[in-house]
């Protein structure tokens, strides 16, 4: 008896250590994720691995390569995640995924009570979503990648969480600057963190609220069932779950099991089926061995909680299995395949017949080098890395500018921020090459659009008021804006200024938008950047 | 105002090196520090002042020639030495023009050697710290700091590059057209402010020199443009008074200013203008472009406000060659 208890303590102790390793890995991975959020924040030279989480993401990798029909070597790391899933299942979900960790930590007490009422068949939804993503990608569309969990979290962090945090820090600093005893501390923070952690300007994004609501909804779903997103919705989880059907090393239930159900109660994602629950456990030989309980490998996130919870030594352990796990009642069937295919094809048809393809919207200024719209849409993950790194916060997520098809892809909103003449960062953080990696001189020749002056609003044209801001700001060496006439005028108070009028030299303009951004008129600028026709402008040829 | 012969400049320097230690107590301290190897590379005269300068400070020094570091040190030495401006323990801010991200050859940003030499002199004069900052108009600050070469030069000289943060602008009353206007609080709070512009052409003001460079101290440029630029510039300078102005005319930009980008628009002048009176320095600098002070409206506006002298004939201007 005593030996048995000791053995139980020993074996549980071992699993406890392993569980701590899992928790430590989760914390470390999340910390790295947060660090990388800042490593790619308004940096002209972002760290080369700022987008590493996307490069480990097999859903993003497969969909992009399928849609772009090219091998993207940057995504080779994604096969490490797939290989890992073959050996140890969905460790990505349970140990690494930042959204998975976040949802794991945000535990609602009432969730286990409600989880029983969520129909298990809902687990099929994630496979349908995965199928739709893949079918649409096969038809060169990546719109459904908005469902990628890493992209989802990064997008919300970029557009609302980081701007919010920066706002709070800046507000505290401003308050601190007004109170003598804290001035030293504020100065220290400014000296050490402005420019590396704290961004130079307050980032602002148009879709901030909407994207925050998306994340909030995903979090609130946790109240229905713990890690609702991971169980029922996540297409990346579905992909890894399918691979985990052939998982080699997995938790298995041995003969010592007395069907106490402790493991099933401990399981955060209800991935353990008990025979006592109504014969859901298939009486196959491998696994389960005892026929009392079974860990469903496609649902299991390898968190190890069940192994810690098991009171009987030897009842649960890790075993090598050669046969794929049996098909559960809630695993996808023919019907799900058909629904996914119809959804994917339907989405492709919907997008193909959208008006956005016929007439580009006026605001559709793409990042440098991404002027070929069809190529761009078949590569952009909607991950928002480019928007986060943009030093002027000018790259904004679309809502309708590019049609529903281009949802949450980046566009340059010049009135909010311009394309910095000294910056190539967006192309260097783009994980899929949707924005090409360009050298500085190369990028400076990429035409994003062309500036047009509204002479009915422009101060010197419309009101004879001296102003040369657009010409002053124009970064092109020979100036794409020229000043016409230069007369010295005298104001009523005796002070003098030059009056001259700006004129755009269209074939020098690269459409960077600094003129539109800096125009001192309130509201709409008197000079706006319109999309240029790539077939007319030199240097607009996108990289192949 | 005939140019001083080269031999006399050298003679004065030798005089200063010999007499400086005896005549000025602080100079003696420094001579000892120099023997100890604390800052061998610093010209003692540039710190404690040239002997001739000490007898009667000129209003302005104009030095032509290379190397640039020697040029700047001579300009400061002949003006009375850095100690005339920077007391021991002073908190110093140097404001160059780093409007965009270009290498020094394009003459869009202040020469890094000029800035770094001033950092060394300020530290040599006993400044507790020397910060260098600007608010680039068209690019991210870090990129401009790096590309202009100013960041590495300043850090090597022992100064600190600081990014101007939006959290540190405060509204100050500057009067006239602007009323209250946001200015960088650190520049008003520091003990010594040194304005180090580069001389360039500009569409709105004809030229951009010291007075215009102070627009980098605000984050609301738009209002200045719409309310009347030249007078606004003078008003900002009325509140924000640099203790020393050093105009970098090593290279000047004669077209497509202020951001430049074309080497054909650059002229090499190898000239440095130093003065306590920025209006006078700006008035002199118009000559390098073949202009008169009347060409730059904000100089007249500043003169009318009593910020400085724009009539060069009323000033003692010492010119030197190195």
Q: What is the DSSP string of B77-111?
A: HHHT-GGGT--TT-EEEEEE-B-S---GGGSSB--
| Residue B40: pLDDT band with limits 50, 70, 90 | very low
Among the four given CATH numbers 3.40.1350, 1.20.144, 2.60.40, 3.40.50, the one describing domain B6-321: 3.40.50
| Residue B310: pLDDT band with limits 50, 70, 90 | very high
A423 in Cβ contact with B143 (< 8 Å): yes
Residue A325 has pLDDT above 90, yes or no: no
Residue A376 has pLDDT above 90, yes or no: yes
Q: Which helix (H) or strand (E) segment is A400 a member of?
A: none
Work out the mean pLDDT of chain B and round it to a whole number: 87
Q: Which of B138, B140, B230 sits opposite A44 (nearest CB)?
A: B140
Q: Which of A195, A495, A519 to mutate to test the interface with B (most CBs of B within 10 A)?
A: A495
- Determine the distance in angstroms separating the CA of B162 from the nearest CA of chain A, rounded to an integer: 7
**Which of A269-278, A512-521, B149-158, B230-239 is predicted with the least confidence, judged by mean pLDDT?**
A269-278
Read off the tokens for A370.
């991404």
d(CA A209, CA A206): 8
Say what the pLDDT of residue B222 is.
85
- Decide if A497 and B185 are in contact by the 8 Å CB cutoff: no
Read off the tokens for A41.
């924040």
d(CA A516, CA A452): 9
Domain(s) labelled CATH 3.30.70.20 in chain A stretch across 447-544
| Residue A7: pLDDT band with limits 50, 70, 90 | low
CA dihedral A425, A429, A432, A437 (to 10 degrees): 30
| Residue A4: pLDDT band with limits 50, 70, 90 | low
User: What is the percent of chain A where pLDDT is above 70?
Assistant: 92
Among the four given CATH numbers 3.40.50.2300, 3.40.50.720, 3.40.50.300, 3.30.70.20, the one describing domain A447-544: 3.30.70.20
d(CA A326, CA A328): 6
| Residue B41: pLDDT band with limits 50, 70, 90 | very low
- Decide if A475 and B259 are in contact by the 8 Å CB cutoff: yes
Q: Which residues of B touch A (CB under 8 A)?
A: 100-101, 137-144, 147, 160, 162-163, 165-168, 185, 202-206, 221-223, 225-226, 228-231, 234, 256, 258-262, 297, 300-301, 304
Q: Which of B98, B143, B149, B307 to mutate to test the interface with A (most CBs of A within 10 A)?
A: B143
**Which of A381-385, B12-16, B191-195, B308-312 is predicted with the least confidence, judged by mean pLDDT?**
B12-16
Chain B residues whose CB is inside 8 A of the A488 CB are 297
A265 in Cβ contact with A309 (< 8 Å): yes
Say what the pLDDT of residue A112 is.
83
**End-to-end Cα spacing for chain B:** 17
**ipTM over 0.90 threshold:** no
| pTM (2 d.p.) | 0.83
Read off the tokens for B106.
């394009």
d(CA A473, CA A477): 11
- Decide if B256 and A170 are in contact by the 8 Å CB cutoff: no
Tell me the fold of A1-21+248-324.
Alpha-Beta Plaits (3.30.70)
Read off the tokens for A331.
């695993």
- Decide if A475 and B261 are in contact by the 8 Å CB cutoff: yes
- Determine the distance in angstroms separating the CA of B260 from the nearest CA of chain A, rounded to an integer: 5
Which whole-number Å values give the CA distances from B292 to A143, A434, B282, B289, B299, in the listed order? 62, 53, 10, 9, 10
- Decide if B163 and A421 are in contact by the 8 Å CB cutoff: no
Q: Tell me: the pLDDT tens digits for B237-266?
A: 999 999 999 999 999 999 998 999 899 999
Identify which has the larger pLDDT, B148 or A45: B148
* Closest residue in chain B to residue A172, using alpha carbons only: B167
Say what the pLDDT of residue B189 is.
93
**Which of A103-112, A320-329, A365-374, B276-285 is predicted with the least confidence, judged by mean pLDDT?**
A320-329
Q: Which of B203, B226, B265 to mutate to test the interface with A (most CBs of A within 10 A)?
A: B203
- Nearest to A66, CA basis, from A130, A123, A128, A126: A130
Q: Are strands A527-530 and A450-453 parallel, antiparallel or unpaired?
A: antiparallel
* Closest residue in chain B to residue A498, using alpha carbons only: B204
Read off the tokens for B65.
């020639």
| Residue A456: pLDDT band with limits 50, 70, 90 | very high
């Amino acid at each position: 008896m005593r030996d048995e208890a000791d053995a139980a303590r020993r074996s549980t102790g071992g699993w406890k250590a392993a569980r701590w390793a899992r928790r430590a890995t989760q914390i470390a991975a999340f910390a790295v994720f947060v660090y990388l959020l800042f490593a790619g924040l308004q940096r002209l030279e972002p760290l080369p691995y700022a987008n590493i989480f996307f490069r480990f993401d097999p859903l993003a990798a497969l969909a992009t390569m399928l849609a772009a029909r090219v091998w993207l070597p940057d995504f080779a790391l994604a096969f490490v995640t797939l290989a890992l899933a073959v050996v140890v299942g969905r460790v990505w979900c349970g140990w690494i995924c930042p959204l998975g960790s976040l949802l794991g930590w945000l535990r609602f007490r009432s969730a286990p009570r409600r989880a029983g009422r969520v129909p298990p068949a809902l687990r099929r939804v994630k496979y349908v979503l995965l199928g739709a993503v893949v079918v649409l990608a096969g038809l060169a569309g990546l719109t459904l990648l908005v469902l990628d969990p890493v992209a989802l979290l990064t997008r919300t962090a970029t557009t609302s969480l980081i701007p919010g945090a920066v706002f709070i820090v800046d507000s505290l600093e401003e308050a601190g600057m007004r109170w003598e005893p804290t001035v030293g501390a504020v100065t220290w923070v400014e000296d050490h963190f402005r420019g590396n952690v704290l961004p130079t300007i307050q980032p602002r994004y148009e879709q901030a609220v909407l994207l925050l609501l998306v994340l909030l909804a995903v979090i609130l779903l946790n109240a229905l069932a713990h890690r609702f997103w991971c169980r029922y919705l996540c297409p990346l989880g579905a992909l890894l779950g399918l691979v985990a059907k052939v998982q080699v090393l997995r938790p298995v239930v041995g003969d010592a099991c007395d069907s106490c159900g402790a493991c099933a109660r401990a399981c955060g994602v209800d991935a353990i089926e008990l025979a006592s629950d109504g014969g859901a456990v298939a009486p196959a030989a491998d696994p389960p061995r005892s026929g009392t309980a079974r860990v469903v490998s496609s649902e299991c996130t390898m968190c190890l909680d069940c192994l810690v919870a098991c009171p009987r030594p030897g009842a649960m352990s890790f075993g090598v299995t050669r046969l794929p796990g049996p098909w559960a009642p809630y695993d996808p069937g023919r019907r799900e395949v058909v629904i996914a295919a119809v959804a994917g094809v339907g989405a492709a048809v919907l997008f193909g017949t959208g008006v956005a393809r016929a007439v580009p919207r006026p605001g559709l200024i793409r990042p440098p080098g991404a002027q070929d719209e069809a190529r761009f849409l078949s590569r952009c993950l909607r991950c928002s890395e480019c928007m986060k790194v943009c030093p002027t916060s000018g790259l904004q997520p679309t809502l309708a500018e590019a049609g529903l098809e281009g949802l949450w892809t980046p566009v340059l909103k010049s009135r909010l921020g311009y394309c910095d003449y000294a910056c190539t960062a967006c192309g260097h953080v783009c994980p899929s090459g949707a924005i090409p990696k360009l050298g500085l001189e190369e990028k400076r020749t990429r035409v994003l659009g062309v500036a047009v002056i509204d002479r009915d609003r422009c101060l010197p044209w419309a009101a004879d008021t001296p102003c040369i801001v657009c010409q002053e700001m124009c970064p092109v060496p020979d100036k794409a804006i020229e000043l016409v006439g230069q007369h010295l005028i005298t104001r009523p108070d005796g002070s003098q200024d030059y009056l001259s009028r700006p004129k755009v030299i269209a074939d020098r303009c690269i459409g960077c938008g600094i003129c539109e951004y800096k125009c001192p008129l309130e509201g709409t600028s008197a000079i706006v950047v319109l999309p240029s026709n790539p077939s007319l402008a030199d240097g607009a040829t996108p990289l192949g | 105002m005939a140019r001083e012969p080269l031999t006399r400049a050298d003679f004065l320097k030798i005089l200063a090196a010999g007499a400086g230690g005896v005549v000025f107590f602080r100079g003696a301290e420094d001579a000892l520090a120099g023997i100890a190897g604390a800052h061998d590379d610093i010209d003692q005269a540039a710190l404690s002042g040239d002997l001739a300068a000490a007898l009667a400070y000129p209003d302005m020094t104009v030095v032509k020639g290379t190397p640039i570091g020697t040029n700047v040190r001579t300009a400061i030495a002949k003006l009375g030495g850095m100690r005339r401006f920077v007391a021991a323990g002073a908190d110093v801010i140097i404001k160059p023009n780093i409007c965009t991200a270009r290498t020094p050859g394009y003459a869009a940003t202040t020469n890094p050697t000029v800035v770094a030499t001033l950092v060394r002199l300020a530290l040599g004069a006993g400044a507790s710290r020397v910060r260098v900052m600007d608010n680039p108009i068209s690019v991210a600050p870090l990129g401009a700091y790096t590309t202009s070469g100013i960041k590495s030069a300043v850090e090597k000289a022992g100064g600190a590059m600081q990014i101007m943060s939006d959290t540190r602008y405060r509204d100050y009353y500057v009067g006239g057209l602007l009323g209250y206007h946001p200015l960088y609080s650190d520049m008003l709070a520091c003990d010594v402010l040194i304005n180090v512009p580069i001389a360039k052409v500009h569409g709105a003001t004809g030229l951009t020199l010291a007075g215009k460079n102070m627009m980098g101290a605000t984050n609301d440029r738009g209002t200045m443009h719409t309310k009347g630029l030249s007078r606004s510039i003078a008003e900002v300078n009325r509140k924000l008074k640099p203790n020393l102005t050093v105009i970098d005319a090593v290279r000047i930009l004669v077209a497509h200013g202020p951001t430049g980008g074309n080497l054909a628009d650059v002229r090499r002048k190898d000239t440095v203008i130093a003065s306590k009176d920025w209006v006078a320095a700006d008035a002199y600098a118009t000559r390098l472009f073949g202009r008169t002070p009347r060409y730059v409206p904000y100089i007249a506006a500043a003169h009318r406000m009593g910020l400085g002298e724009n009539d060069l004939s009323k000033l003692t201007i010492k010119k030197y060659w190195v």
